Structure 1
Amino acid sequence: MARSPPPPPSAGGAQYAQQFLNTALSQRGPSALPYAEDVKWLIRNHLVALAEAFPSLHPKAALFTHNDGRAAHLLQADGTIPIHHAGASYNLPAVIWLPEPYPRSPPLVFLSPTRDMVIKPHHPLVDRSGLVANAPYLRSWVFPSSNLVDLVRSLSHLFGLDPPLFTRNPPPPAAAPTPTNPSPQPPPPRVSPSPSPSYRLGGFPASPQLAPRPPPTEDPAEVFKRNAVVKLVDMAYADAAALRTAREAEVDALFTVQAELRHRGDLVAQGVRKMGEEKEALERRLQDVMMATDVVEAWVTENTRRGNTQASEDAIQPADVLSRQMIECTAADLALEDTIYALDKAIQEGSVPFDGYLRSVRALSRKQFFHRALSAKVHTAQQQAKVASMAARAPQYAS
């Protein structure tokens, strides 16, 4: 039974891994590694943590050829994966490749058996080429929580239950040729058989397919226990992945609701702020009106006590020229209307001759028409001035 070669030294362990990854991931141009810029720091942390937890796996950069023939320089973790089987410790030679979409997609794990090793046929996790394709942790890989340390720990546990590699059995020794001259020879010295060395650091159990003697029958209880543990681990990973997916969907929905509530809160705060500004403006306007009311009431009280009726008539003054013209036109129109009404009463009583009545009504109606026409023009001018004033104050309300 051959011993597997020990893993190469880690060349400084985690410190060397940090220095190598800082240099490899910081390169730009044609020599840059084909990873997204936003995940390079996460890739570095994954490989450094792997080197700290498993010193037998150290990062490298090598050429990887895809199934379609494409070649790319990718990062890998090369070395051995420690396992415990049947009370002994072994090291599985393996290479963990990080493809271009890593860590959003799982890595590629290959077992690299030496010349004296063979992959166990029909292994549930490893195919003939050495690719670890059916590991539960790889099938339930979730970004960004999944990492290389947990992957290697899961593989170490599963491979310890069912090792995928075995050592080849050495060929039987050739028979010694029979001498032609049967002269008596001294009997060869008896050599006591030395115990076979323990290969707990690199060797693997002999392959039952290549052993010259049939292996002992496994205990059905142990086989059932091992299969049950593998099934339970697989179910646990599947349930954890489904639960994680559901919780991530719920968290995304809550984040969306939170963003909508924050946006609505900003709108409400803006509306409250505008209402406060409008309230302050109205309060200032109310104070101005109350002050003006006090002044008018004081003026009316003082002039009423003095009995100055002329001053009361002059208390209200037009605001502008258009208002003054409107007051004059309206007053003249009403005065002419009263005069025509008085002539109607006079003609009914016979106080005014009919010819004089017609001439007076015609002249008064003409004057009334001109006053009403002028009043309509003044009203139109006032409306235009009011629209212009509102347009001038519009930016203040918009701000």
Structure 2
Amino acid sequence: MNKVYHDEGMLKQYLTKYKHRDYTCREVIRLMEVYRSLTYRMEVFVFNNGSRKDLLNLEGTLPVKYKGAYYNIPVCIWLMDTHPENAPLCFVKPTSDMSIKVSKYVDSNGKVYLPFLHEWNQSSTMHKLVECMINAFGELPPVYSKPRNEVRPPYPVNSFMPQPAGYPYPQVSQPGYPTVTPYPTTSNLPYPSFGSPYNANGTPYPSATPTPYPPATAYPGPTPDMTGGTITEEHIKASLLSAVEDKLRRRLKEQSQQSQAELETLRRTERELNEGKTRLEDILTRLQRERADLDKNVLVLQEKEKELEAAVERLGEQEGVDVDEAVVTTAPLYSQLLNAFAEEATLEDAIYYMGEALRKEVIDLDTFLKQVRTLARRQFTLRALMHKCRQKAQLAC
């Protein structure tokens, strides 16, 4: 196994094809500074479709506390080349003397299922992921010590099950998947006793007595006849039936737990899809309503445009209108008010142009003052007249 040196330059060389190389490098170094038993190396990852990709593999042990004692759980974590956009792939990697204990967190192939992985987003961190794994394994240990007379099949025994959201998985039938190497021990015994403290160099699992989970029970073999001292065919048949029944019962239990975990993941995905469908339907309904309102407004504007065009055509066909004849009052009082208003407006204009003439030196100051005094006096008289007319006509003053 490769030794780990916290060489950022070397790690960045490994991560040259990663989308977020610098971020991934910093995360790996920070994680390995906390969990020094982890090592990294680049290995070929084989996907279900047979394609291969070089991915960074973090492999080592995690300290897990179970019933007051610490144990080292061997794991391997694969970082996708789009990290942190996609969740890592986590596996429990037992040694040859250990067996996987299937639970809601681990399937029979060692694949780790965690809510944190299912809810992974770009703000999730590797350190938080490892903490979630430690907490989950402390609740339900993923491995147990296997009796010495039980022969463990090569790891893994079959292909990995698919993960939710369509993540890729390694295929055991394809070459290139890394083989599992046992972790070194500090004594001749392969595992410490169950109550022994955590030792960073020792193997982390409880022994067969006691153990987080009961050790695998050897199948009962044929026993001699108590009366005759010989093994009959009936004894062999009963022994084989008992062994097959026990094995099938264990397999069915593992498959049931694994199916429950997958079913829960599918249910969460279904809920998320239904919520997304509801949101999309609400958005679509709102857009349709807004579109209907816009179509209605367009029709109203088109009708108003036609009315304006018709009015313009009618005005174009009519002859010129005398302004004085177009405005006709209904009473003499209103006529007096209208005439006073018009004369007052003309006086306002006359005063303005008198100022312009003075500014351009067309008239002298004396002439300007004399004319402006006369015009202003007349303007004041007209405004007083308009005020009285408005009062008489009961209009706003």
Larger-Rg structure: 1
TM-score bin (small chain) = 0.3 to 0.5
When normalised by structure 2's length, the TM-score is: 0.42
